[in-house]
Amino acid sequence: MSDIAIELRGIDKSFGPVHANKHIDLVVKKGTIHGIIGENGAGKSTLMSILYGFYQADHGEILIDGKVLTIKDPNAAIASGIGMVHQHFMLVDNFTVLENVMLGAEDSPVLNASISRARVELKRLEREYALEVNPDALIQELPVGLQQRVEILKALYRKADILILDEPTGVLTPPEADHLFRILEQLKNQGKTIILITHKLREIMAVTDEVSVMRRGEMVATRETDKTSVEELAELMVGRRVLLRVEKGEARPGDVKLSVRNLTVRDTRGVTMVDDVSFDIRAGEIVGIAGVAGNGQSELLEAIAGIRRAAGGTVDLNGSKVDVTGLADPADLRTRGLAHVPEDRHHVGLVLKFEESENAILGYHRDPAYKKGPLLDIAAMRADAEANIARYDIRPPNPRLKTANFSGGNQQKIVLAREMERNPDVLIIGQPTRGVDVGAIEFIHKRIIEMRDQGKAVLLVSVELDEIRALSDRILVMFAGRVVGERDADADEGDLGLLMAGVENRMEAAQ
């Protein structure tokens, strides 16, 4: 018995011209939690997919327990004791927990015997690892935290000794994430080996024993977690020094620019998504809305931006009414000084098949500056696009390139440049750094603070609590469509987490 669970030697993988993994070496010790960190597209997921048999490496070998193995499909991976919890859960929504756990690991062609065995085994796993879940519940009726637990149970049911978790906390509330980390600790104490893939530095520091950093397809370093720091890891990831927390001075709030009163929004089924929400935003301040995705933040943004009709309430922009319950026109709102960076840049913010310069004026295409008789003034469009490309360091610097060919971070910069460079009075931003690399995050955060310092009113929605805390001057927490609390920028993280989970205060939590 060696004390090394997994060893990768010289793993190499290309997809056409993309060299996703370049001669990767990795050693994971038995009974540890090993973090793998890197920016989007650094090759973390590809490497894990090779380990799980989804892809075959072009070169290199995989050693499990000191033995060289060829893992030609997930079956082989499962047989050698590897289990994987995917970022997007691989569960059948209208199956029960039991059926999901059983799927692919049934004992016999007729199910009766398998079902009773699975039930007994599930009970045992529940007891051993404190992973309670009702075996007869339908997946679609479970909260995401429990769905993830089912994924872990699936792996344990298949007798996995090595558990790979791919970005496991993306969908969890902070308390749920903490709970997951406790589960991982316990699994480790029972002798399991865990590989945690993430781009969140905080998680790496919190739970791992060792951490390996990937950058552009290469494994650049492995460190013991105790002997490294967030700053060092960030620098290794990006390849240069980064500021993790942007510096900002005191806010100097001015007049109220956006005033929301009793806003209520229902979705197409008639379910209330935003419930009687009121707040003001002043010039020169950033108000952040924290909350777990799906608690009404998206609907709130859309109603204010005029792309979703509200059921009731009023919105004042620059002191004049916006017809949010009727026919508020997003184009009209833009001319009145409201800029909107939508949450979902792929579906709302950009037309991916358009050239960069076309997206750079989308929504402002009626501006006389781009008019040449009845036609668009292409030269003026391109000139503006080029100016933005230079100012926002958008790469590659080519206004004629199809937008789909830019990376996520650069696409986001295209949207931000378009909305911020119009000198709006009010800027509303949804998920400014979703799917954006650490380096670009720093830049985007700086720009948002600059906007504030220029006296703009900024409404920020993000599911990243760290981002909300880093940027906001005031924080509103939304839960189930309501604003359940307001806190200062230096609010305690645990306190915010409880608010986000719908617990009104600590007293209630203790009860």
Partner 1 sequence: MDVFHMLVTVLESTIRVSVPLIFAALGGLFTERAGVFDIGLEGKMLGAAFAAGAVAAVSGSVWAGLFAAILISVLLSLVHGYASITQRGSQIVSGVAINFVVFGSTVILGEAWFRQGGRTPALSGDARFGTITFPFAEEIRPVPVIGPIYADLISGHFFLTYLAFAMVPITWWILYRTRFGLRLRAVGENPGAVDTAGISVVWMRYRAVICCGILAGLGGAYLSLAMTAGFVKGMTAGKGYIALAALIFAKWKPLNVMLACLLFGFLDAFAIRLQGNPLPLIGQVPVQLMQALPYILTVILLAGFIGKAVPPKAGGVPYVKER
Judged by the rule CB under 8 A, the positions of this chain that interact with partner 1 are 15, 52, 54, 73-75, 77-78, 84, 86, 88, 90-95, 99-100, 102-106, 108-112, 114, 154
505: left (phi over 0), alpha (psi -120 to 50) or beta: beta
Cβ at position 12, least distance to partner 1 in Å: 17
Amino acid at 44: K
Give me the count of residues in the chain: 511
Which residue lies nearer to partner 1 by CB, 91 or 180? 91
Quick one: which of 93, 96, 187 has its CA closest to 137? Answer: 96
Which residue lies nearer to partner 1 by CB, 111 or 120? 111
Which residue lies nearer to partner 1 by CB, 153 or 287? 153
Quick one: which of 265, 234, 188 has its CA closest to 30? Answer: 188
Cβ at position 73, least distance to partner 1 in Å: 6
Cβ at position 76, least distance to partner 1 in Å: 8
**Furthest-apart CA atoms within the chain: distance in Å:** 79
Cβ at position 371, least distance to partner 1 in Å: 41
Which residue lies nearer to partner 1 by CB, 188 or 346? 346
**SS3 label, residue 202:** helix
Which residue lies nearer to partner 1 by CB, 105 or 501? 105
Cβ at position 72, least distance to partner 1 in Å: 11
Instruction: Write 204-208 long-range contacts (CB < 8 A, 24+).
Output: 204/35, 204/37, 204/233, 205/230, 206/181, 207/33, 207/35, 207/181, 208/32, 208/33, 208/34, 208/35
Helices (H), 225-337: 230-238, 297-305, 330-335
Interior/surface letters 6-37, b for 16+ CB within 10 angstroms, e for the rest = bbbeebbbeeeeebbbbebebebebbbbbbbb
Which residue lies nearer to partner 1 by CB, 166 or 442? 166
Provide the token pair at 90. 């691989």
Angle between helices 112-129 and 144-157 (to 10 degrees): 110
Which residue lies nearer to partner 1 by CB, 19 or 336? 19
Cβ at position 75, least distance to partner 1 in Å: 3
Distance CA 509, CA 511 (A): 5
Q: Residue 21 to residues 8, 35, 44: CA-CA distances in angstroms?
A: 12, 17, 8
Cβ at position 106, least distance to partner 1 in Å: 4
Q: In what order do the strands lie in the sheet with 312-317?
A: 272-282, 256-266, 312-317, 320-322
Cβ at position 406, least distance to partner 1 in Å: 18
Which residue lies nearer to partner 1 by CB, 78 or 163? 78
